[in-house]
Amino acid sequence: MARVMTAPASSPSSPSSSWRRRPWVRWATPLLIVAVLAVLPLVGTEFQNETLARIGVFAVAVLGLNVVMGYTGQVSLGQIFFLGFGAYVTAYGVSQDWNIVLVFVLACLLPAAAGLLVALAAARLGGLAIAMVTIALPIVGVPLAKRLNEYTGGSQGLSARFAESPEGSGLYDDQWTLYLVIAIGGVVFLLTHFLVRGKYGRAFAIVKGNENVAASMGISPYRYKVLAFTIASAIGGVSGFLYMLVIQYTSPETMSFGHSIELLAAMVIGGAASIVGSLLGGAFYVLVPQLTNQVDASLTALLQGAILLVVLFVLPGGLASLPRALTRGRRRLRAGRGPAAPPTTPSSTPGSGTAAEQPETERQGHA
């Protein structure tokens, strides 16, 4: 419509993204990733492998949370419940000597079904209300798990070891476990990666952005919230399966409400609505306590709080926004030297951080 040319120098393709678009890079990158993942378990020490496996568990849990919260904008404080549910299903199934594939399927389906039920009710609400309804899941889940002690082992929990490396594979248990985590987690990541691009990704995003618009595009906000929530629960269930695979024990404490909050923090720190961010979030969830324990075990809370704040202060978009922040920083450096952008007060710098200037948007209540 308008004849105004956009400022020519400012095409969106920064050098790095155009580099990423080269065909050989597009093919080589996945291959490289697969290759690295294939040898990774073979080169690490036992503890490194165990740590990586744990990262995998929580990366999957964060990924699930990202589907419902990062992409679809529905604050869920219940994700840990689905992890716990998946873990219990797995532990129970293993204790009953069920076929492990069946156990895996149940560990996805039962949490998904629970998630579906909850979502059918909760998706009618929005914003903070949905946060409060989902917060109830872990909070009620803990006493419920104790009450159902026939299946859950009550407060003493359930142990299950089912991932001994197969005879003749020549692998240590930790290597085998890590391979399983990488394989299962990798598939979940890949599927989610595809899902949040294209039709469903856009649909989730518009449900997050503006439900009225979504509806007028033929996207029922309710149905898509339910869908996202169910997917998140299923992925949560998978992470519960992996949890049992790696940790081999679950108890009501597994799903304590504090962990749900930590998962949420991990999601934001990794980068909301980002696949890589989920992985980084999982790493943050696992590595930071490890790190703070190393520094001073009696100051873990203080250090963890401080690290969280520092990371977000530097990268409000989460760890996944680091490359973007770097290119922006470089661009700003270059621009800063030009005559056109003299400094002004910090408060009026649009584009600083994630807070791109949105003069007319109102802030909605949000948890």
Partner 1 sequence: MAAELTLQDVSLQFGGIKVLQDVSFAVEPGQIFGLVGPNGAGKTSLFNCISGHYKPTAGTVRIDGTEVQGARPATLAKHGLARTFQHPALQLHETVLENVLLGAHTRLPGGALEWAVRLPRTWRAEKALRAEALELLERNDLGWAAHLPADELSHGLHKGVELCRALLMKPRLLLLDEPAAGLPHAEVETLIATVRRLRTDDDITVVIVEHHMGLIAALTDRVVVLDHGAKLMEGTAAEAQSDPRVIEAYIGKDAADDAA
Partner 2 sequence: MTLLELEDVTASYGPVQVLDGVTLSVPENGAVGILGANGAGKTTTLRAISGTVRAGGRIVFDGKDIRGMRPDQVAAQGIAHVPEGRGTLGDLTVRENLMVGAYLRKDRKGIDEDVDYCLDLFPNLRERITSNASALSGGEQQMLAVSRGIMSKPRLMLLDEASLGLAPSTAKNVYDAIRRLRVESGIAMLVVEQNANLAFTLVDTATVLETGRNALTGSSAELKGMDEIRRAYLGG
Partner 3 sequence: GGGNDAGRGGDAAEGAPSPGITDTSVTLGITTPLSGATAGPGTCTVAGVTAYMGMKNAEGGIEFGDGKTRTVEIEALDDTYDPQQAKANYDQLKDDVFAMTAGLGTPTNRAWLDAAIADEVPQVLIMTGDPIFSETEQSPWQLGFVPIYQNEGEAFGELLATSTEEHKVAILAQNDDYGEGYVEGFKSAIEGSDNIEIVDELTYEATDTSVDAQLTELANSEADIFFNAMSVTPLMISALQKAQQLGWTPSWFLPSNTSSPTAILEPGGAAAYPGIYSVSFSKAPQSPAFAEDEDVQTYLSALKDYGNYPDPPAFPHCQWSWMVGATLEQAFQNMEEPTRDSFMEALRSIEGYEAPLMLPDTSVSTGEDGQPAVSTVVVQKFNGRGYDTVETFE
Ligand X SMILES: Nc1ncnc2c1ncn2[C@@H]1O[C@H](COP(=O)(O)OP(=O)(O)OP(=O)(O)O)[C@@H](O)[C@H]1O
340 binds ligand X (CB under 6 A): no
Scanning 149-157, 211-219, 249-257, 341-349 for contacts with partner 1 by CB under 8 A, the matching segment is 211-219
From 14, 95, 159, 352, residue interacting with partner 3 (rule: CB under 8 A): 159
Q: Read off the DSSP letter of residue 341.
A: -
Q: Which does 23 bind (CB under 5 to 8 A by kind): partner 1, partner 3, partner 2, none?
A: none
Q: Which does 202 bind (CB under 5 to 8 A by kind): partner 3, partner 2, partner 1, none?
A: partner 1
Contact 326, 16 (CB under 8 A): no
Closer residue to partner 1, CB minimum distance, 91 or 226: 226
From 17, 18, 29, 155, residue interacting with partner 3 (rule: CB under 8 A): 155
Please report which residue ranges of the chain form alpha helices under DSSP H. Answer: 15-20, 23-43, 46-65, 79-95, 100-122, 127-147, 149-152, 173-195, 198-209, 211-216, 221-247, 257-270, 275-296, 300-314, 322-337
CB atoms within 10 A of CB 48: 14
Least separation in angstroms between CB 355 and ligand X: 11
Closer residue to ligand X, CB minimum distance, 298 or 361: 361
Return residues touching partner 2 (CB under 8 A): 1-7, 9-10, 328, 331-332, 335, 339-342, 344-345, 347-351, 356-357, 359-360, 362
From 198, 338, 342, 365, residue interacting with partner 1 (rule: CB under 8 A): 198
120 binds partner 1 (CB under 8 A): no
- Phi/psi of residue 249, each to 5°? -155, 140
224 binds partner 3 (CB under 8 A): no
Least separation in angstroms between CB 346 and ligand X: 17
Residues for the chain: how many in total?
367
Angle 282-93-56 from CA coordinates, rounded to 5° = 15
Least separation in angstroms between CB 283 and partner 3: 13
Question: By CB under 8 A, what part of segment 232-271 binds partner 3?
Answer: 243, 247-254, 256, 258-259
Closest Cα partner for 100 from 2, 166, 196? 166
Please give the residue ranges that form the binding site for partner 3 (CB under 8 A): 46-47, 50-51, 54, 142-143, 146, 154-157, 159, 161, 164-174, 176, 243, 247-254, 256, 258-259, 286, 289-290, 292-293, 297-298, 300-301
